[in-house]
Amino acid sequence: MQKAVYEIFDTHAHYDDEAFDGDREELLSQLPRQGIGRIVNVGASLASCKKCLALSENYGYVYAAIGVHPSETAELNEENFAELKKMCLHPRCVAVGEIGLDYHWPEPEAGIQKEWFVRQLALAREIEKPVVIHSRETCQDTLDVMKAENCREIGGVIHCYAYSKETAREYLDMGFFFGIGGVLTFKNARKLREAVEYLPLDCLVIETDCPYLAPEPNRGKRNSSLNLPYVVEKLSEIKGLPEEEVRRITWENACRLYRMEL
């Protein structure tokens, strides 16, 4: 039996965030002893992407996703997009992300976001790496862009999935995975629970989005991979499967998503 079978794969974290400046090394060093086998640390800006790669070089169980979050796309131009591509070709980079659309705040305006979303999708296609999709308050526009760009050919994950089971069906038809985190444990997460009930377990992966979105009973506190057993427990309850089976299947799913060996 493989050692990794019963470990947890955190498919989306932000350990480069300043929230971890006080204890980053101490926290990351203990995670393997606490059953966290692999982590993908996800970029949001050019500066954070550089930090992601540094973390992936310093910790053998940490990998990087490199991309510019929609809220940071105003910083992109042809010169630094070339730099972004170079970082995406790093051997510790397993995906392009997080990329997508976010209309929660008025800036950058939608046209800028869409332009760089499409450019980063094209980059992922060119270098043959999956994408990590961020979509907030922009359900239909995200779907429209992904269909127009034939994202089925690229593959990837819808990070922090928060839409309905009807929308989930659209992404499922594209062959995408769904990132499920602490929100699943919230009392007001009925729509997400319905989507998770509908979706087959073999398309679900586990994530923290730390330092954000800590699950119950730690909601509102700084999140970390140490909270993922609460997500496993809730998934186990919804799917009617033992927690060990949920860990095994979501580990295998994450390895397929990021095209890694088990």
- Secondary structure of residue 97 in the 3-state scheme: strand
Answer yes or no: pTM beyond 0.85. yes
- 11 neighbors 258 (Cβ within 8 angstroms): yes
- 114 neighbors 102 (Cβ within 8 angstroms): no
For residues 135-139, give the mean pLDDT: 97
The alpha carbon dihedral of 14, 39, 249, 151 has a sign of: positive
Q: Which domains does the chain show, CATH number per domain?
A: 7-233+248-257 (3.20.20.140)
pLDDT tens-digit map of 43-75: 999 999 999 999 999 999 999 999 999 999 999
Q: Is the pLDDT of residue 197 over 70?
A: yes
Structure confidence at residue 6 (pLDDT):
75
Return the structure tokens found at 170: 């659209």
Structure confidence at residue 2 (pLDDT):
45
Structure confidence at residue 4 (pLDDT):
45
Q: How many CA atoms lie within 13 A of 160 on its CB side?
A: 22
- 208 neighbors 228 (Cβ within 8 angstroms): yes
Q: How far is CA 148 from the centre of its chain?
A: 22
